[in-house]
Structure 1
Amino acid sequence: MSEPLAWFKSSYSDSQGGECLEVAVYPHTTYVRDSKLGAGSPRFAVLADAWAAFLAYAAREA
Structure 2
Amino acid sequence: RNVLIYFDTSLQAKVLSLFDESLETFGYLALGSQETLRFSVLASSYNQLGKEKIWRKIK
When normalised by structure 1's length, the TM-score is 0.22
Query: Greater RCO between the two (CA within 8 Å, min separation 6)?
Result: 2
Q: Which has the higher helix share?
A: 2
Q: Which has the higher strand share?
A: 1
When normalised by structure 2's length, the TM-score is 0.23
* Bigger radius of gyration among the two: 1
